[in-house]
Structures are given as C-alpha cells and as structure tokens.
Structure 1
Amino acid sequence: MALLMVFLGGMLGAPLRYLTDRAVQSRHDSVFPWGTFAVNITGAFVLGALTGAGAAHGLPTDTLLLLGTGVCGGLTTFSTFTFETVRLLEDGSLAEAGLNALGSLLLGLGAAAAGYALLTAV
C-alpha cells in the first residue's frame, strides 16, 4: 500500500511542478529560475506542515506517504535546482547563482519550519 500512495502522489506532484514552474517563469523576464524556486519553497512549507500535522495530530501514515513523499517529492526538484544553479554560474550570472543557492536553502528551511510550527500550533 505504501508504494501505491507514493506512486499516486508522484503522479500528481510531477505535473503540478511542471505546470507551476511554467506559469511562474512565464511571468518573469529574468535568468533567475523563479519557477523552480517557487515550487521548492512551496514544497518545503507543505512538507513541514504535513510533518507538523503528523507529529501533533497523528496524521495517518498513508496520508503522509501520499502527500509528503509522493506529491511533495514530485513537486520539488533538487536536480533541476542544481542544474539551474550551475547553468547560472556557466553563464556568468554569479549573483543569481548565489541567490538561488543561498535563498533556496534559507527560505526552504524557513518555510519548512513555518509549516511545521503552524500545524503543531493548530
């Protein structure tokens, strides 16, 4: 059952990542990868919230697997983040590469902590 939950969640998360990335990026005329940045920060918040709900309210394991591992795993993307950061470096966009790397780390951690705090407080 666990594998099915992850599979179904991934089927939702991957297209959601693609569509969100394209929608966000199409609104920016910049070399900065705003679409990937947005899905990764959003995914960190959602996963933090799910983890908080699991810890504080006993969210069922299947729900965590479906939404956390499956949807968030399909939504977020470390490989695209690293590829885009390297591409920025190769193109000489050092400030954007640094902002992408450091911003993703700091805001991702902050978003996960905020999601966790929010759902454990409710």
Structure 2
Amino acid sequence: MKGIELVFLAVGAIVGACLRYRITEAPILFGGLSINILIVNVVGSFILGVFSVVSPLLNLNANYTLFMSIGFCGSLTSMSSFALETCNLLDSQCLVHAVLNILANVFLSLGALISARWLTGVIVAAV
C-alpha cells in the first residue's frame, strides 16, 4: 500500500468511526430494543450502494474507493457490534429481540443497499 492510499483509507476510517461514535453514544430505543447499530448498518449500506453505482460511472480513482468503501463505510458499519449486541440479547434471555435484531439488520441493510443502487441508477439515467 502506497502512502497516499493509506492516507485516503485512514481519513475515511476516522470520519466513519467518529460518525458511528456520535450515532451510537446515546441509546435510541424502539420497542425496548436499541437500534443504534441498526441505524449505522442501514445508513452505511445505503451510502455504499450509492457509491457502488456512482464510482464506476464517474471513473473515480481507486483512492476514493479506499476512502469511502473500506475507510468510511467500513468504520461506520459494524458487524462485530451487531454480533455482540445480538449475543448480549441472547444472554439476557431476550430471544425475540435477538431474532428481531438479526432480521432487521440483515434485511434492512440489504434493502438499503439494493434501494440505493436502484435509486442511483434511476437518477443517473435521468441526468
């Protein structure tokens, strides 16, 4: 990895991590279930979906992919936090919340990415 690539990756990671911290520092509850990690996963998936369509169309330099995909979205979203949150729910005997957490994170994140790619494609086609 070249120095400039490391800079793009690191700056993206710093921005993503700071945003994630800000979103997850105070619990947002929905029906007794904290949805902070769900929010970062869905938002990050949507952003990555838009970027995956726009990047090749604009022929963006690979450094921007390092910044956005691996750095920013990689730091913003969190499979490990999602897994820990789910295990904590299971440890607390909250099986229904654990299953809802799994289903919501997987399907809403995939839905956000698919929707973002479709919407971005429609917008790009109209321009």
TM-score between the two structures when normalised by the length of structure 2: 0.85
Structure 1 match to 2:37: 36
Pairs aligned (count): 120
The percent of aligned pairs where both chains have the same amino acid is 32
Task: After TM superposition, give the deviation of residue 29 of structure 1 in Å.
Answer: 7.2
* Residue 96 of structure 2 is aligned to residue 95 of structure 1: yes
Gaps of 5+ in 2: none
CA distance in 2, matches of 1:52, 1:76: 19
Structure 1 match to 2:119: 118
TM-score between the two structures when normalised by the length of structure 1: 0.89
Task: After TM superposition, give the deviation of residue 65 of structure 1 in Å.
Answer: 1.4
Give me the CA root mean square deviation. 1.6
Structure 1 match to 2:77: 76
Residues 11-20 or 51-60, more deviating: 51-60
Indicate conservation of the 8 Å contact 1:56/1:119, yes or no. no
* Residue 4 of structure 2 is aligned to residue 6 of structure 1: no
Task: After TM superposition, give the deviation of residue 64 of structure 1 in Å.
Answer: 1.8
Structure 2 match to 1:20: 23
Gaps of 5+ in 1: none
